Chains A and B, each alone.
Chain A
Amino acid sequence: GAVVSQHPSWVICKSGTSVKIECRSLDFQATTMFWYRQFPKQSLMLMATSNEGSKATYEQGVEKDKFLINHASLTLSTLTVTSAHPEDSSFYICSAYWTGSDTQYFGPGTRLTVL
């Protein structure tokens, strides 16, 4: 149980385009989901907290107009990287919080490469 999926698992795009990443909780409902970014050989950095039906809360230094987050249902959150640039290339990971176990469960991650 407590499975979280992400799609796509990897994506390559051209500079200036937008990319959408989906995060789904497959067997539980998640009122809260989180988006993280991880650069090579570094730890996970929290980007934003996404609550179903409300605006996301962004961490300091994360541009909310660049990283658009939508949490439209209790099982789906999306992250859109707008006008992507090579410096946005990274490993993006989502997690979903399940109240039943008071635990975050993570997706497998999405590798974004911007050319």
Chain B
Amino acid sequence: DAKTTQPPSMDCAEGRAANLPCNHSTISGNEYVYWYRQIHSQGPQYIIHGLKNNETNEMASLIITEDRKSSTLILPHATLRDTAVYYCIVRDFGGSNYKLTFGKGTLLTVNP
């Protein structure tokens, strides 16, 4: 079972920031939060991951709450090409178990 809860769909206007929420209230201290996205008929694309500090890269920013029970992925200036299903996944970083369990994700539609 997926350990995260995401809204099934969201809309965003082109050029505006897209803020995608994720709830992971049962996250444990040795689990990362990963974000991937999947554009229709393609393999998932890695976006960003974090443990407890906010992270930023060329694609997005990841804001994790202090209690780590939720996070928000921010696409600062959404474009039409950002329309995709976004997956929030928690993964244990201990040992050698690198498996990812995908939930249903959030379908983000960026509108002109």
Chain A interface residues (CB < 8 Å from chain B): 2, 4, 6, 32, 34, 36, 43-46, 49, 91, 93, 95, 97, 102-109, 111
- Known contacts A43-B87, A44-B44, A108-B43; can you find 12 more A-B pairs with CB under 8 A? A6-B43, A32-B98, A34-B100, A43-B104, A44-B38, A45-B102, A46-B100, A91-B41, A95-B43, A105-B46, A107-B43, A111-B41
Interface string of B1-44 (1 = CB under 8 A from A): 00000000000000000000000000000001010101001111
Q: How far is the CA of A34 from the CA of B44 in the complex (A)?
A: 13
Q: In the complex the two chains form, is A106's CB within 8 Å of B45's CB?
A: yes
Contact B102 A106 (CB under 8 A): no
Query: How far is the CB of B13 from the nearest CB of chain A, in Å?
Result: 26
Are B43 and A43 in touch, CB under 8 angstroms? no
CB < 8 Å neighbour of A109 from B43, B49, B101, B105: B43
Interface size class of B (residues with CB under 8 A): 20 to 34
Which residues of chain A come closer than 8 Å to B103, judged between CB atoms?
Answer: 43
B97 nearest in chain A by CB position: A49
Q: Do A106 and B43 have beta carbons less than 8 Å apart?
A: yes
Partner of B102, one of A44, A103, A108: A44
Q: Once the chains bind, are A97 and B98 in contact (CB under 8 Å)?
A: yes
Alpha-carbon distance A63/B3, docked complex (angstroms)? 26
Interchain residue pairs A-B with the least CB separation, the first 7:
A106-B43, A44-B102, A43-B102, A106-B44, A109-B43, A97-B98, A93-B43
A–B complex contacts, Cβ < 8 Å, 14 sampled: A6-B43, A34-B98, A43-B103, A43-B104, A44-B38, A45-B102, A49-B99, A95-B43, A104-B46, A104-B98, A106-B43, A106-B44, A109-B41, A111-B41
CA distance A91 to B34 in the complex (A): 22
> Chain B residues with Cβ under 8 A from A95's Cβ?
43-44, 100
Pick the contact of B93 from A2, A4, A102, A108 — CB < 8 Å?
A102
CB pair B42–A103 under 8 Å, yes or no, is no
- Would you call B42 and A109 a contact (CB within 8 A)? yes
Report the minimum CB–CB distance from A96 to chain B (whole Å): 10
